[in-house]
């Protein structure tokens, strides 16, 4: 019974897309356009150069395309299914999170897990197509692929807690639209989504080292393209694990405080 409830919770957001074929078509078209444009951009930037910032054209294109595919891991629209925390806070339905037999913490985790599994299917499909057409380079070895996979899982775990903090902010602000936009931009920039971090100034790289964002994306992709060698990858994995522990403890504390501030507004 518990497994059944977990499954029903995990599929909440994916079902909103699966039951709307036009939305899935739009996602497919957008993903294809993004991959083509990003690959064309980096191929153009490297048209008259060999190595830039210690990175070859093949590495840069592979990094950029994988970054685009990684967006699908957590880019589902909760708002369409009316299941965004901001919507629940505005309409007062957040109170039902505390009346169910399932705790709010567990519900949030299961929902995010379902989103990531669904998003992973999109990302994996896109990766296999790009690999078949030579858009991205394969990993240099099986060991590299294994370490990359582990780092990617840890990175998505870190990202979950970062996004959870923004959701929890709603308990104090009721609306978090502006904060979410700021966070998404900062997360993509500091995580190396727009460009690999080693293209930025030293002070920027140092600053990002004190924040969890680069652990979400830059670390696993750097391992995949060979920018981070396997002997050095262990340290990066430990840093990712440390961020998971810190953020898990902090968000757990915030959950307890948030429960005291449940407000029914609207309805």
Q: Is residue 193 part of a domain?
A: yes
Q: In this predicted structure, what is the pLDDT of residue 266?
A: 47
Domain enclosing residue 206, as ranges: 2-261
Three-state secondary structure call for residue 17: helix
Q: Please, which residues have CB within 8 angstroms of residue 27's CB and are 6 or more apart in sequence?
A: 17, 72, 122
Q: Is residue 30 part of a domain?
A: yes
Low-confidence ranges of the chain (pLDDT < 70): 1-8, 74-83, 90, 92, 174-179, 261-267
The 10s digit of each residue's pLDDT in 96-118 is 777 777 778 888 888 888 888 88
Q: How many domains does the chain have?
A: 1
In this structure, what token pair is assigned to residue 206? Answer: 């140092």
Q: In this predicted structure, what is the pLDDT of residue 2?
A: 58
Q: Is residue 133 part of a domain?
A: yes
Q: In this predicted structure, what is the pLDDT of residue 179?
A: 66
Q: Is residue 256 part of a domain?
A: yes
Instruction: Provide the whole-model pTM.
Output: 0.87
Q: Is residue 267 part of a domain?
A: no
Q: Is residue 41 part of a domain?
A: yes
Q: In this predicted structure, what is the pLDDT of residue 85?
A: 74
The 10s digit of each residue's pLDDT in 2-55 is 565 666 677 777 777 777 777 778 888 888 999 999 999 988 888 877 787 778
The tokens 């497919």 sit on which residue?
A: 28
Q: Is residue 266 part of a domain?
A: no
Q: Is residue 118 part of a domain?
A: yes
Q: Collect contacts of 239-248 with beta carbons under 8 A, ≥24 apart.
A: 239/215, 240/151, 240/154, 240/155, 240/157, 240/158, 240/215, 241/154, 243/158, 243/161, 243/212, 243/215, 244/154, 244/157, 244/158, 244/161, 247/158, 247/161, 247/162, 247/165, 247/212, 248/161
Residues 123 and 133: their CA atoms lie apart, in Å, by: 15
């Amino acid at each position: 019974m518990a497994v059944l409830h977990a499954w029903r919770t995990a599929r909440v957001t994916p079902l909103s897309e699966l039951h709307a074929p036009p939305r899935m078509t739009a996602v497919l078209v957008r993903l294809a356009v993004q991959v083509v444009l990003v690959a064309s951009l980096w191929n153009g930037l490297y048209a008259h150069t060999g190595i830039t910032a210690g990175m070859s054209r093949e590495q840069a294109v592979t990094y950029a395309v994988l970054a685009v595919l990684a967006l699908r891991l957590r880019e589902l629209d909760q708002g369409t299914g009316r299941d965004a925390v901001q919507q629940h806070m505005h309409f007062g339905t957040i109170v039902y999170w505390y009346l169910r037999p399932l705790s709010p913490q567990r519900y949030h985790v299961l929902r995010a897990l379902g989103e990531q599994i669904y998003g992973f299917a999109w990302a994996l499909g896109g990766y296999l197509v790009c690999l078949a057409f030579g858009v991205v380079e394969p990993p240099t070895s099986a060991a590299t692929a294994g370490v990359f996979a582990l780092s990617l899982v840890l990175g998505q775990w870190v990202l979950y807690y970062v996004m959870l903090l923004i959701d929890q902010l709603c308990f104090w602000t009721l609306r978090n639209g502006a904060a979410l936009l700021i966070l998404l931009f900062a997360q993509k920039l500091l995580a190396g989504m727009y460009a690999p971090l080693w293209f930025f100034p030293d002070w920027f790289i140092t600053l990002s080292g004190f924040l969890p964002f680069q652990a979400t994306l830059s670390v696993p992709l750097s391992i995949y393209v060979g920018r981070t060698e396997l002997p050095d990858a262990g340290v990066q994995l430990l840093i990712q694990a440390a961020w998971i522990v810190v953020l898990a403890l902090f968000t757990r504390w915030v959950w307890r405080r948030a429960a005291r501030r449940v407000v029914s507004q609207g309805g």
